[in-house]
């Protein structure tokens, strides 16, 4: 059993860093996607069920100049209480200061205190030690459950850990599960290992592809970034997305892959459109021979077969980034087909990890979230993990 599971929180005030950076409706401040909140509920429940209380701290958005209405965590209080079966959730309108300390002090077992947005203080992102120390005074024990923010060396995610003795700082259940699944892909890899990388830009994915070249058997490249590779190899890509300044990078990656014996799979064909719009005229074309005035917005039928057969023979699967513009019905077939292939491989015994905002939205939208092994709450954090970087939020607990 893990440190967190073994810990008895009875009579303890647990200071828990969560990642409640959820999308809010611009007009109504309603929560558009509560997955990150749901993901950390088991951690909070364990603390409360033990007879402890939980003081939750998080950021929301990227406020630049102190407090602002639209980034207030007060918008989450009611829903959080519902997710906790009606548990009392108090709110402190300042994450440090008198009200926060008084409320934390009088918090009773089974109760929750949610602190206001940490980023209303610039000290949070600066990793200011004095600010971290002030936060640390709010709880007896520090639990980090914020995998989504683990790549930030901020006051509440990393710096704060030093103010708790080793036995009083630990991962929460979500963080444990995230780290365990990431390690399964990165370090306990069963081969063949396929990485499916999509999304718009090559420039965002260079480091992860380079690191995966050391580990993967196959790398599937889809989404807008595939056309930069197509053009680099001399293809005609019409008006498709292309990063002209990354053509050489794309060629270098292909060359490195060949030298390392890693198979890179580019989509043989594409669904092309006469404009970037949901009602565009469409056709199918080889991905390296797209007519002028047309642009590739999804992988085509042959590419779907080509990619699915690679995925279905794999034992480990990492998926980051969609295959096309799946938000539009005409261009969602590729991403949907890949989701189905990942689900089929998982059913046949493969371990599959899906992470990064858009691919997670896709598996949720198409109903495959419970048919893959693990859906990560991390976007940037997961990417940096697979780039081979040490995440400050993880390192601080381990030190
Ligand atoms: C995220 O959503 O990427 C995390 O919550 C971290 O937020 P940030 O990118 O603004 O640091
Ligand atoms: Mg981010």
Query: Which of 102, 94, 96 lies closest to 67 in space, CA to CA?
Result: 94
How many CB atoms are located within 10 Å of the residue 82 CB? Answer: 12
Name the residue of 125, 149, 156 whose CB sits within 8 Å of the most ligand 1 atoms, as the mutation to test its pocket.
149
For the segment 272-297, what is each residue's pLDDT rounded down to a tens digit?
A: 999 999 999 999 999 999 999 999 99
In whole angstroms, give the CA distance from residue 308 to residue 40: 33
pLDDT of residue 398: 86
Known active-site residue 86? no
Ligand nearest to the CA of 36: 1
Tokens of 23: 């999308």
> Residue 326 in 3-state DSSP?
coil
148 lines ligand 1 (CB under 6 A): yes
In whole angstroms, give the CA distance from residue 305 to residue 18: 40
Residues with CB under 5 A from ligand 2 (ion): 380
Ligand nearest to the CA of 19: 1
379 lines ligand 1 (CB under 6 A): yes
pLDDT of residue 399: 77
pLDDT of residue 183: 96
pLDDT of residue 128: 98
Known active-site residue 357? yes
266 Cα: distance to centroid of ligand 2 (angstroms): 27
Residue 397, CA atoms < 13 Å, CB-side half-sphere: 25
Tokens of 368: 């495959």
pLDDT lower than 70: segments of the chain: 357
The structure's pTM equals 0.95
Give the containing element (helix H, strand E) for 57: strand 53-57
Query: Which of 368, 354, 371 lies closest to 195 in space, CA to CA?
Result: 354
pLDDT of residue 260: 97
pLDDT of residue 17: 98
């Amino acid at each position: 059993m893990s440190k967190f599971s073994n810990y008895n929180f009875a009579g303890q005030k647990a200071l828990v860093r969560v990642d409640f950076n959820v999308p809010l409706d611009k007009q109504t401040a309603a929560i558009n996607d509560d997955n990150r909140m749901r993901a950390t509920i088991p951690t909070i429940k364990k603390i409360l069920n033990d007879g402890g209380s939980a003081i939750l701290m998080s950021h929301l958005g990227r406020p630049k100049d102190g407090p602002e209405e639209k980034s207030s965590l007060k918008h989450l209080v009611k829903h959080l209480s519902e997710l906790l079966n009606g548990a009392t959730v108090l709110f402190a309108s300042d994450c440090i200061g008198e009200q926060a300390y008084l409320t934390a002090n009088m918090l009773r077992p089974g109760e929750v205190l949610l602190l206001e947005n940490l980023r209303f203080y610039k000290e949070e992102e600066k990793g200011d030690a004095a600010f971290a120390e002030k936060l640390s005074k709010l709880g007896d024990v520090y639990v980090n459950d914020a995998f989504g923010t683990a790549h930030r060396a901020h006051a509440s995610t990393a710096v704060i850990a030093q103010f708790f003795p080793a036995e009083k700082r630990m991962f929460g259940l979500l963080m444990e599960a995230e780290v365990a699944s990431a390690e399964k892909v990165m370090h306990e890899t069963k081969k063949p290992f396929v990485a499916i990388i999509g999304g718009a830009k090559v420039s965002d994915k260079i480091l992860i592809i380079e690191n995966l070249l050391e580990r993967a058997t196959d790398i599937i490249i889809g989404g807008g970034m595939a056309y930069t590779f197509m053009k680099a190899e001399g293809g005609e890509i019409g008006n498709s997305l292309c990063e002209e300044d990354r053509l050489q990078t794309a060629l270098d990656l292909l060359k490195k892959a060949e030298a390392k014996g890693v198979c890179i799979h580019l989509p043989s064909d594409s669904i092309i459109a006469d404009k970037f719009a949901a009602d565009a005229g469409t056709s199918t074309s080889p991905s390296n021979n797209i007519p002028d005035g047309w642009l590739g917005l999804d992988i085509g039928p042959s590419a779907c077969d080509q990619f699915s057969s690679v995925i279905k023979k794999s034992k480990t699967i990492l998926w980051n980034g969609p295959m096309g513009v799946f938000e539009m019905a005409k261009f969602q077939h590729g991403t949907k087909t890949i989701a189905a292939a990942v689900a089929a491989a998982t059913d046949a015994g493969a371990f599959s990890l899906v992470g990064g905002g858009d691919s997670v939205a896709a598996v949720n939208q198409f109903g495959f979230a419970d048919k893959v092994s693990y859906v990560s709450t991390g976007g940037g954090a997961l990417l940096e993990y697979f780039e081979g970087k040490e995440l400050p939020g993880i390192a601080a607990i381990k030190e």
